[in-house]
Chain A
Amino acid sequence: MSPASQKAVVYVRLKEGVLDPQGLTIQKALSQMGYREFTSVRTGRFFELDISANGANIDDRINEVCAKLLANPVIESYKVEKLK
């Protein structure tokens, strides 16, 4: 067993106003399939992080990796959800 004592999930998505051609294509497909009530689709991705028990300042550390690597702050925003 890994010594992970915490988990966090990071959700990364394009900022409001940034064109999401994949989402747009999915929305068009849905509409063609008859699901016309779904008027917009925005895509994103998530990362599951296992965090070892001895991690200090873990909230800051998570934010750091989000800003440095997981998200590109020019076009993307992120949200962190911590799980027990």
Chain B
Amino acid sequence: MKVGVVTFPGSNGDYDSYAAVKHVMYEQVEFLWHKSADLKGSDLIILPGGFAYGDYLRAGAIARFSPIMASVVSFAQSGGLVIGFCNGFQILTECGLLPGALMRNTGLRFSGQFVHVRVENTRTPFTNSYRPNETLKIPIAHGEGNYYNFNGDVKKSEQDGLVVFRYCDTNGNINMQSNPNGSVNNIAGIINREGNVLGMMPHPERAVEKILGSDDGLKLFESVRAALATSRHRAAAGKV
């Protein structure tokens, strides 16, 4: 597995993703500078957390026009695996690779804490190592993670199994108390229809070793490794 982690001006989760891949997964990883269009032969692209371009205008709104994003979009369109954590998720919705939008948390506060999420779909390249409905303890750190889309569009995403993670309590129950930001249907992470682009507000890359408080995020990286070992997603690498 060869992972490319994009660094935007204002990214702050790029080293977390880098460390998770290099020092915990023992896989290859490279930083990709936002001004370059070169994906360096990566077979997984990570858009990290942070505040790309200061979150000016809207979170992710400016970052999506970076030179690197044109390459990321065509990589995704040819089937390459792309993950956006937090700010990366916001960039993916802004550039249209994922449906919906991320709005200000309903409580208006930045929220940094451990939360629980339930794995809603394990038939994805990002979650194949989890058990169905497994409950994960993973941190969040965002002020604009309130996932929103219009009723009909949310229904369609639900029907098509695009919702991958949902905020829940420690027992896996989905309720209002366990929703940290007002997201519709407690949605914490979603994939595109083709199944190769994942966006999620929680930070699995910050939960990969027990010493960090949880290693529940590790299986996400293991899932991708397993998917890449077997499949068609690899074909996209090198095309861009």
Contact = CB atoms under 8 A, between A and B. Distances in A.
A75 B148 contact: yes
A66 interface: no
A20 B47 CA distance: 27
A72 B93 CA distance: 10
B101 A75 contact: yes
Contact of B108 (A18, A21, A72, A74): A21
Contact of A70 (B57, B93, B108): B57
A72 B148 contact: no
Given A72-B61, A74-B93, A75-B148, A25 B103 contact: no
A25 B94 contact: no
Given A69-B57, A74-B93, A21 B149 contact: no
Interface of chain B, helix or strand or loop or mixed?
Answer: loop
B105 interface: yes
Interface of B: 57-58, 61-62, 65, 93-94, 100-101, 103-108, 148-149, 182
Contact of B101 (A21, A69, A70, A74): A74
Contacts of A75: 101, 103, 148
A22 B104 contact: yes
27 contacts: A18-B103, A18-B148, A19-B103, A19-B148, A19-B182, A21-B104, A21-B105, A21-B106, A21-B107, A21-B108, A21-B182, A22-B104, A22-B108, A25-B108, A69-B57, A69-B61, A69-B62, A69-B65, A70-B57, A72-B61, A72-B94, A72-B101, A74-B100, A74-B148, A74-B149, A75-B101, A75-B103
Interface residues of A, number: 10
Given A21-B105, A21-B108, A72 B100 contact: no
B99 to A, nearest CB: 8
B33 to A, nearest CB: 22
A32 B104 CA distance: 23
B58 to A, nearest CB: 6
B66 to A, nearest CB: 13
A43 to B, nearest CB: 10
A19 B146 CA distance: 10
A21 B94 CA distance: 20
A62 B123 CA distance: 43
> Quick one: which of A18, A19, A22, A25 has the most chain B CB within 10 A?
A19
Contacts of A18: 103, 148
A7 B19 CA distance: 49
A18 B104 CA distance: 11
